[in-house]
Structure formats: structure tokens, C-alpha cells
Amino acid sequence: MLKPTRLLLLGAPGSGKGTISRKLLNRFPQLKSISSGDVLRSHILRGTKIGVEAEKCLKTGTLVPDSTMVSLISEQLRDLDGLSSKANWLLDGFPRTFSQAQKLTEILDKNQCNLNVVVELNVDQNIILHRIESRYVHLPSGRIYSLDYNPPKVPFKDDITGEDLVKREDDNAAVFKKRLDKYNEEIVPLREYYQKLGIWHEVAGITSDIIYPKVEKLLLT
């Protein structure tokens, strides 16, 4: 694996970033994971001020404000000792905008621990919209299941805890289309930013089983 490895996973909502992240963490246990989705879900479950704000954004398909996200992820990096030149970590879901990327670079530059590989997952968005209707989640952990290609062992139950799976309010085609449109708008300057830094890579595929081996190969070369 790259030494050190500071990886950012980009991809549209529903592209499988969470699944790829879990596979990478199993393969490379030295990586520390920082997932913006997990951080926000934690705040939503605890009913914090940030959680209430984030839940409203998710229901309407809008993004949580940049300043809020930068503050949350910076805090996570500090807590995980991620602001070290020897740190190994994986960012999932952040930054989502050009402004967030610039602010993240400023923070990491100061600590000499900047990103060294950015991977964008390229999945046909028509396929994503088709899948979203069959997606269920275990809220406490964020584990995602698809009734089509990644079903739970027991219908509508989490494989690990046996607890109920639920359907998120934003997991419907109408709201999700708004999220995809917003992603498509924001990703262009973000992609160009990391291309100019020479650390951007694109990995295409239909499922995580196709995509993951390509991502792993990038980290081993």
C-alpha cells in the first residue's frame, strides 16, 4: 500500500462509496475511516443542533453547509490523530464541493499531511436511480443493503445485529434525482481541482464487486 496513504473517495450518492470503504478497511486495517455520512448520522440520532440541520437537508436533497462540514471533518481528523505526516486515512463523502476541498487542503497543508490519492467512482446514474428504490439501511451502523444485488441474509434484518432495516426518507427517486443533479453540478470543479494536483483517478463499474479490485490495485501500485 502507498506509504502513507491518505485517500479520498468521490462518487455520486448511491455509487457504493460506503461498500468500497468497508472492503478497503478490511483489506488495509492500518487505514482510519472518516465518513461524513457516519458523522452526520451520529448527530441526527443524538438530535444535536447539527443533526436537526442535517436531517432537513437530507429530506430536501440539499447539502449541509460547507462551514458545518469542514468543522465536523476537521474535528474527526484531530480525534483520530489524522493530522500527522505519517497518518493513514480514508475520507468518504467529504469534500463534496470546491470550497470544501480548498479549506481541507489548507488544513492538511499546515500539518504536512495532504491527500495523495483521489478516486472517483463512476457508476451509471440511471442504474443508481433504479437501485435506490430497493435500498434499505441499518441506521445505527450505516450498513446499506439492496434487495436486488446485496440482500440481507434474513429479509429486512441487519446481518450483524439482527435489528430491523429501514428505508430512509430520502431514498426515493424524486429526492435522489435532486441529489444527483446537485452532485453533477458540484463535481466538475472538484474533479478539475484534484486533476491539477495530479492525484485524481477514475474507476468505473456497475457493482462494487467490479469496482473494488480496481481501487485496491491503485493503492498497491
Ranges of beta strands (E only) in the chain are 6-11, 32-35, 89-92, 117-122, 135-138, 143-146, 200-204
16 appears as a binding residue in the annotation:
yes
128 appears as a binding residue in the annotation:
no
63 appears as a binding residue in the annotation:
yes
22 appears as a binding residue in the annotation:
no
* Predicted confidence pLDDT, tens digits, the chain (221 residues): 777 899 999 999 889 888 899 899 999 999 999 888 888 888 888 888 888 888 888 777 777 888 888 888 888 888 888 888 888 999 988 898 999 999 999 999 999 899 999 999 999 999 888 888 888 999 888 888 888 878 999 999 999 999 999 988 777 888 888 889 989 999 999 999 999 999 999 999 988 899 999 999 999 97
27 appears as a binding residue in the annotation:
no
**Domains of the chain: residue spans and CATH:** 28-84+94-212 (3.40.50.300)
Q: pLDDT of 172-201, one tens digit each?
A: 888 888 889 989 999 999 999 999 999 999
- CB burial string 33-67: b at 16+ within 10 A, e below: bbbbbbbbbbbbeeeeebbebbbeebeebebbebe
pTM check: above 0.85? no
59 appears as a binding residue in the annotation:
no
143 appears as a binding residue in the annotation:
no
Whether 112 contacts 167, CB under 8 Å:
no
144 appears as a binding residue in the annotation:
yes
Q: pLDDT of 148-161, one tens digit each?
A: 878 999 999 999 99
14 appears as a binding residue in the annotation:
yes
